[in-house]
Chain A
């Protein structure tokens, strides 16, 4: 299913950014974003390729709390 976990910007390039979430680093395009992006911002990524939305840190942390539960359960029951 189409879950999309926020990813934090750790490096900015010309039209892309390197983002990180749960130990995975990805280079994603920023070309579809309307707003400016800075180091430390949280982005929603689509299909591991494009940043589609910037979200505020509180919203990102709330999302991480949810996904921590999901990923913890996934690892525990071996469905990953």
Chain B
């Protein structure tokens, strides 16, 4: 049986330091980029059903990107309620991943204590959402599945999510403007505040600052950044922080905190568009030839599926994941590190680990630092 890093692959990041400055960053990936080759030759409906098994991480976003690509290839437009239900589930998954990073991984990076119980409670409520929309666990059907939203229980679940996230991430503080953010940063005790305060106190706010801009539209010739910072680029607080720190660590981490609130708003918006719908079973009757793109904003950024179907079978399938952008050799991590001075108040390893965690690759990573 072949052995390549457990099959899942990982990122290997090698940083070279000379005279107190990072002079070189090399990034290699052992992630298997051809995972979708196993979908080629399968019936379209079977291939789409397999996606959550292939991509157990962000499986909802992967499933929805595949559904959009398949339905586009077949020339089918799903009912607005089906679209809203899918978007709601994608937002729920992104919220899970975002709060996970903030409560578990950020504190670990700064030597603080991770917070488990609120995350477990949140994950329980988030997991309850799908059955409140789609009674059948096989909700990811081309053309849509039976949708019977339970509005009352959904409203209660969203209230529980909002209060749980606000308490665990923001605490008592509310951000209205830069001034209230600064006050929160100095006084709040949540893992998010502790982490951001650590970054600010040891003067890492600028760390990782670079000229890479957000991906605006899909353009294969441009290396842009995708994810929370790109999505919240024009948020008033992010605009204010960019003026001081560019897209450095403090701005980047703050965007993820803002994201937790924005995703709750997205859940509520999509809930308003829900109504009962029976869906239209398409896969078995699909015979036309077509190409489809499915684009979904998931926790780590823009996820793109592209497929070609002919006579009901998949001829070609490719996925472009957010990690391809943010961990590209000319992407935000490499550009943000190259030329950066070694920080004074902490170890370089800790600073880089924080930056990697803020950019959030979808696989594990190994970091090696060598002095020249």
Contacts and interface: CB of A to CB of B under 8 A. Distances in A.
Given A32-B116, A75-B2, A70 B37 contact: yes
A77 interface: yes
Given A21-B6, A23-B3, A74-B34, A66 B54 contact: yes
Given A32-B116, A34-B120, A34-B124, A5 B34 contact: no
A73 B34 contact: yes
A70 B34 contact: yes
B6 A23 contact: yes
The interface centre, meaning the residue of A3, A6, A63, A67 with most chain B CB atoms within 10 A of its CB, is: A3
A75 B4 contact: yes
Interface residues of A, number: 38
A35 interface: no
A69 B57 CA distance: 19
B226 to A, nearest CB: 14
B218 interface: no
A24 interface: yes
Given A1-B321, A2-B362, A47-B363, A80 B35 contact: no
B232 interface: no
A1 B323 contact: yes
Interface stretch (B7-15, B190-198, B254-262): B7-15
Given A31-B116, A63-B53, A80 B4 contact: yes
Contact of A70 (B5, B38, B361): B38
A3 B2 contact: no
Contact of A80 (B30, B38, B319): B30
Interface string B83-127: 000000000000000000000100000000000100110011000
Interface of B: 1-10, 30-35, 37-38, 50, 53-58, 62, 104, 116, 119-120, 123-124, 300, 319, 321, 323, 361-364
Interface of A: 1-7, 21-24, 26, 31-32, 34, 44, 46-50, 53, 59, 62-63, 66-75, 77, 79-80
